[in-house]
Structure 1
């Protein structure tokens, strides 16, 4: 007899009762239908996967398992990767294999690594390459050129050198097409041993099919018609049509980019698109943008994708319901399966009730039906009849609640049903995705993320431990390409160099090169770097970079210390109209080219200060931006270098016994000025920055110093120009003591005094409260000045 299984809202079985038929669905194995190509996701467009490679183990492998491992998580069937072009393509820029013509480096970027990780977990995954932009040398700025065809051949050669087989190749993302260029690309691929690679055209809209039906040579060059957002961009994804011309090409039709929605909040829309792309438009692949939000949360679309992984320093990550919605298709199908058109449609003939698609396996026996009820208002009973040679064995039922963020409601094995006479019933609840299958092997990963945490200061990077051509840890290119190379200017070791020597062919609007790094929660700190200009232009440090509200540094909320090769300098911030505002400016001796200099940009409360080669050049008060990352920047075409990054937190240092602050009397900056304690007032003479070199800096360039390298009890403590000496290095201990590295003695308030102007010295560590200090962030008092 036919029975109904009533499913509770959380997917659990409550009881079995006689069927109350609402909708009859025939699962007919003899039905015609198109061949399924897969559900995939995109790494690129751009920089959305950047921080994943910087994650520590085992968290990095666990995230990768959630994305690619069969029977564990999303089990992606297609990975579409950006072919880097040194230009911003939404949330960052990805590096080119050929910054300048004729110099190819196949190890640049992280997409090769990601593709290899995907293939290692799922050897059947299909790889797809697409360019969003290109280096400026290509075609003299013309993307549709032989240079670009040759560039793609070089990229395919790099893929081969990494042991990667590319299955699909596109043209220029969302920037139209050239029929003759696609024809020449097909010829070039065939002539160079890549005849098996299928060309997708044009990664824009369906208009490409209009030319394909009129131009047989063009049609013969394109294997797959790929359109972006056929259900609409950032819509509920309720209607997903193709066009009559697209259908008449006889080609496979793809939603070659879909998504752009939050990893949890977009789950319902994704569920609809995954089914309705085929129901409405006969699309056989749906590819979500992006695969993961592995970028800091101040960049565009920070939580779009299947998961979020934006804290490599803590190892924290979060898997979204969209990942499990993907799994509800990918874990129950395989590319090569075939849709059954007579077993696919809308429940009760109404899209408001939900949709269902049925696919059968290549052996014409097993099948899976994916049902979404995301807009239904009530439970519905579905009566299934299995016919046409499909298996009548046990049906396994899995579900995901698309309106929940509770992991317990995702990818739940609800029940198993044994059909009677090839028939069974199921009651489905509103707001769910269900997968009914005769296959086995499905599963749900159990790895759990560690807690989130901030990136601790001080932070430093000398860049000497990286391979040439790699990207430094946490550095997110936004325009241009910042890459580790051998240092110039006569300096040994490795440095970060901006590699884009001319304006690229862009996807987004053009800006000058810049890169961001660090924690968006950083507040009071100093960022310091050695810099070298290779040609005329400017270099800059960026600080308190918060929200990137439009492309380019003009659209980045933050501050800049910009210095030109002529010696002109300025402290800038951008405004809401995407224009730079000059807060201070001036001139120092020309920096010139091929020589090293030091820039430092400091923040303490509302005070922003810049230093060049240890000399303070400007200090301003501005309260527009209070927290944010650090970064580098260069003028267009400036292949400048950076070295010895140092970021230290700026704090007041308070004596536990006295309650007063470590202070430089009278705001004096003269070498040899003795230090004291004084009522805390958050003046610049009480702002101390602990650097990665164990310095305690004040004014940005003066260090807390044991006078004359003294190591005996009673040695005076002064300020002195920072020189890296061991008498300027201090160990900050958990018990509150500050111990001189050279002396091994503690910073001590003389005779335990607590009054203003009591001096400081070195003394044997005793654990007394006059040797205990706290480091506390504080806002400076407006208008504070010398006493």
Structure 2
């Protein structure tokens, strides 16, 4: 999992100008001209209301391509509303202009699976999943937001030929039209519809889709093709029927996948189509460290490639931290039980365009370009209203190394009064430095002068109504045990609280087998057309810090296959839900049971197995799986059937699942605590990956002294006294300094180096020690939820110890070697 180390990191800024550059470029009306003898770069721009440019379609984000919004639905109403405001409310946060959602297909599509509205042919249920709710919430906050649907996978009955289905079939066209009908029943109009995410295209299929939309009353819904690469444009150029069937050319990651996004690309064929060109998926960046990349791409996508929409993947990271992309998005929200969330720099990078423009505005090409004609100086784009004279310019200086000056001369009937200015300092980790109102600019002899500092994003505008939200997150905390759910709460068709499907679909239904009330059932009757690698259905729930406990659930299975109960569920491998660290108890319809250990390498080890004839057949049975240190106990209907001893995993979530696509039911889930594992005393903290010790650099004792790893030498700067602070958290106090290990100021930016500081520090200086297996543990910061991590998996002395999202790496695991 260490390969995710570089996700979302922005490379060091490019020193392109140099400290002693005297000759700089000047742009007049978008064209460079010489400027000799100046010590400060100057860019002069004429903002001409008659200037040509493409129509702006908006900046948006994606809910889907994984269950990235799943946990948001379970937040307390107050915090849930705050998060939704930060995403959709105009003049408050990201103010998204496009919301793209997954058309669920019962298949994992990155960080989870979304439920289909039609698990089997003809059985349409317009109440499944949470995307309808999310679109309704977005529309309630911003009635003008555009909605876009796209499938990542589909149920297995689609185009079924006996070999796993065929997406490029008439079945899929009908399936998408039925989804549009569900949207209509929810009072939603879908503006855009795509094909199959990142799986190429079939020209004849797109032609059938386009015709079906017209025939079924959805002429307003525009078709986006092909949510893959630019090659679709070349095919369209050679096929007039295909060209007519695609309204918008949408490509993925035209500004580079997981990069600084300093340059964006298109093709001559794409431009020659005359269609609107979109970055219909871009991003895949950490919600904080990816903010600068997002800001570059929104501007440079138009300058370089004439892209008129930018859609970020994803909208929110409301997923459990053991999933691979758990900090990607605009906001993180992975603790619905506490109400904690964090608004990222990516929110404000988005806001600098969305709060100052509207879809339907027009770019002014001659007032868009690179400062001083050089990429390293930064970029600017200007957009104007088609009918009111309003206009805005968005400027980024993210790679600049020196201050610059920009002048704007307005002509062509545009408003020329006071110009309002807002800025964000992307060098800062303080949220108060984002979306800050600056003094208004007034023209002198018809010219506005802007003083631009490095590392910033600026918006200047004639419009009003902008702002930065003031809501603040609740404090983080653990999910307490015992935990119980009788599955009566969601109502038929809903999803159980905190239960996140990773493959298949788990929904509330009327219980069978003579039992009253509602149960959770695995709904997918056949293997879906997968987007990710195939896996058996399962869903997870709970706190990764749960250690010793017993998880139990009632189950019923009426067909061949098996039900599964999972415990100590940990890291999941990327794009492969079948690879996950966990233990499970399985029970087949014939009464065979097994205790198994799974891992991210897709290896399954049987720890114990046998047959319980009394548990065979269609009746209800209660499964239980208990953990106490390395001891694992499995029971069925109250009697122990097997035990095992294994040290691989020391903590984790719980889950339910099936072997094969069988429609098992579950009821009365419970998780009861076992003996608590506590820590007290003085320890050396030894990294599992490097074998080196957590160390205060240079034996320093001052507040803010940095922490690294170093070969163990017995020094007091390598010794830490562990003291309980309550709620299962601890302070780690340096023996030499008497100061506390902290995530500096509770800074939520990945890669921040840890340091020491005088206490009390609150949540920033509190750590949860979570056993990870084989005698090691992770150190989870209470303020940020991130782990103490050796930077880049280094094994050298002096490597920084930083905070980083959970990824299962050995460089995030520490042995507590007791000294006294």
Equivalent residues of 1:604, 1:780 under 8 A apart: no
1:172 and 2:192 are equivalent in the alignment: no
The one of 535, 550, 553 equivalent to 2:559 is 535
In 1, Cα distance between the equivalents of 2:311 and 2:489?
37
- Tell me what 2:76 maps to: 56
**Equivalent residue of 1:633, what SS?**
strand
In 1, Cα distance between the equivalents of 2:629 and 2:574?
26
- Tell me what 1:128 maps to: 148
**Equivalent residue of 2:249, what SS?**
strand
In 2, Cα distance between the equivalents of 1:778 and 1:204?
41
- Tell me what 1:116 maps to: 136
For residues 150 and 475 of structure 1, do their structure 2 counterparts lie closer, same or farther at Cα, with a shift above 3 Å needed? same
1:277 and 2:308 are equivalent in the alignment: no
Shift of 1:648: 0.7
Q: When the two structures are superposed, what TM-score results if normalisation uses the length of structure 2?
A: 0.77
Shift of 1:551: 4.2
Matching of residues 261-300 of structure 1 within 5 Å: 261-300=285-324
- Tell me what 2:440 maps to: 416
1:317 and 2:341 are equivalent in the alignment: yes
- Tell me what 2:86 maps to: 66
Equivalent residues of 2:237, 2:243 under 8 A apart: yes
Superimposed CA distance per residue, residues 474-498 of structure 1 (whole angstroms, 9 cap, x where no aligned partner): 0100000000001111111110000
- Tell me what 1:248 maps to: 272
Shift of 1:400: 1.2
Superimposed CA distance per residue, residues 734-769 of structure 1 (whole angstroms, 9 cap, x where no aligned partner): 9xxxxxxxxxxxxxxxxxxxxxxxxxxxxxxxxxxx
- Tell me what 2:484 maps to: 460
Shift of 1:21: 6.0
Superimposed CA distance per residue, residues 584-629 of structure 1 (whole angstroms, 9 cap, x where no aligned partner): 2222216334210010011111212111111112222212111111
Q: 167-176 or 606-615: which moved more?
A: 606-615
Superimposed CA distance per residue, residues 620-639 of structure 1 (whole angstroms, 9 cap, x where no aligned partner): 22121111110011012211
**Equivalent residue of 1:139, what SS?**
coil
For residues 363 and 301 of structure 1, do their structure 2 counterparts lie closer, same or farther at Cα, with a shift above 3 Å needed? same
Equivalent residues of 2:108, 2:577 under 8 A apart: no
- Tell me what 2:579 maps to: 555
In 2, Cα distance between the equivalents of 1:463 and 1:508?
29
Matching of residues 133-282 of structure 1 within 5 Å: 133-140=153-160, 141-282=165-306
Equivalent residues of 1:364, 1:389 under 8 A apart: no
Q: 360-369 or 532-541: which moved more?
A: 360-369
- Tell me what 2:526 maps to: 502
The one of 33, 45, 49 equivalent to 1:25 is 45
For residues 780 and 31 of structure 1, do their structure 2 counterparts lie closer, same or farther at Cα, with a shift above 3 Å needed? closer
Superimposed CA distance per residue, residues 665-685 of structure 1 (whole angstroms, 9 cap, x where no aligned partner): xxxxxxxxxxxxxxxxxxxxx
- Tell me what 2:369 maps to: 345
In 2, Cα distance between the equivalents of 1:519 and 1:510?
26
**Equivalent residue of 1:362, what SS?**
coil
In 1, Cα distance between the equivalents of 2:59 and 2:110?
22
Shift of 1:464: 1.8
For residues 455 and 21 of structure 1, do their structure 2 counterparts lie closer, same or farther at Cα, with a shift above 3 Å needed? closer
1:487 and 2:511 are equivalent in the alignment: yes
- Tell me what 2:106 maps to: 86
**Equivalent residue of 2:224, what SS?**
strand
- Tell me what 1:366 maps to: 390
**Equivalent residue of 1:279, what SS?**
helix
1:301 and 2:329 are equivalent in the alignment: no
In 2, Cα distance between the equivalents of 1:186 and 1:778?
54
- Tell me what 1:759 maps to: none
Equivalent residues of 1:399, 1:411 under 8 A apart: yes
Superimposed CA distance per residue, residues 687-715 of structure 1 (whole angstroms, 9 cap, x where no aligned partner): xxxxxxxxxxxxxxxxxxxxxxxxxxxxx
Shift of 1:298: 0.7
For residues 331 and 537 of structure 1, do their structure 2 counterparts lie closer, same or farther at Cα, with a shift above 3 Å needed? same
Shift of 1:571: 1.2
The one of 398, 405, 410 equivalent to 1:386 is 410
Equivalent residues of 1:133, 1:172 under 8 A apart: yes
Shift of 1:552: 4.6
**Equivalent residue of 2:226, what SS?**
strand
For residues 73 and 215 of structure 1, do their structure 2 counterparts lie closer, same or farther at Cα, with a shift above 3 Å needed? same
Q: 103-112 or 19-28: which moved more?
A: 19-28
1:609 and 2:649 are equivalent in the alignment: no
Question: Unpaired segments of 5 or more residues in structure 1?
Answer: 1-17, 655-733, 735-775, 783-787
**Equivalent residue of 2:198, what SS?**
coil
- Tell me what 1:619 maps to: 643
In 2, Cα distance between the equivalents of 1:296 and 1:779?
16
Shift of 1:233: 0.7
The one of 492, 499, 523 equivalent to 1:475 is 499
Equivalent residues of 2:615, 2:636 under 8 A apart: no
In 1, Cα distance between the equivalents of 2:476 and 2:773?
29
For residues 221 and 620 of structure 1, do their structure 2 counterparts lie closer, same or farther at Cα, with a shift above 3 Å needed? same
Shift of 1:563: 1.6
Shift of 1:223: 0.3
For residues 575 and 472 of structure 1, do their structure 2 counterparts lie closer, same or farther at Cα, with a shift above 3 Å needed? closer
Matching of residues 505-654 of structure 1 within 5 Å: 505-552=529-576, 554-589=578-613, 591-651=615-675
Please report the RMSD computed on the Cα atoms of aligned residues, expressed in angstroms: 2.0
Equivalent residues of 2:173, 2:212 under 8 A apart: yes
Equivalent residues of 1:320, 1:405 under 8 A apart: no
For residues 100 and 123 of structure 1, do their structure 2 counterparts lie closer, same or farther at Cα, with a shift above 3 Å needed? same
Shift of 1:402: 2.1
- Tell me what 1:8 maps to: none
- Tell me what 1:723 maps to: none
In 2, Cα distance between the equivalents of 1:621 and 1:193?
62
Superimposed CA distance per residue, residues 423-467 of structure 1 (whole angstroms, 9 cap, x where no aligned partner): 021111111110011111101110011101111110101112321
Equivalent residues of 1:19, 1:425 under 8 A apart: no
Q: When the two structures are superposed, what TM-score results if normalisation uses the length of structure 1?
A: 0.80
Which is higher, the Rg of structure 1 or of structure 2? 1
- Tell me what 2:811 maps to: none
Equivalent residues of 1:511, 1:551 under 8 A apart: no
Shift of 1:291: 0.2
For residues 778 and 516 of structure 1, do their structure 2 counterparts lie closer, same or farther at Cα, with a shift above 3 Å needed? closer
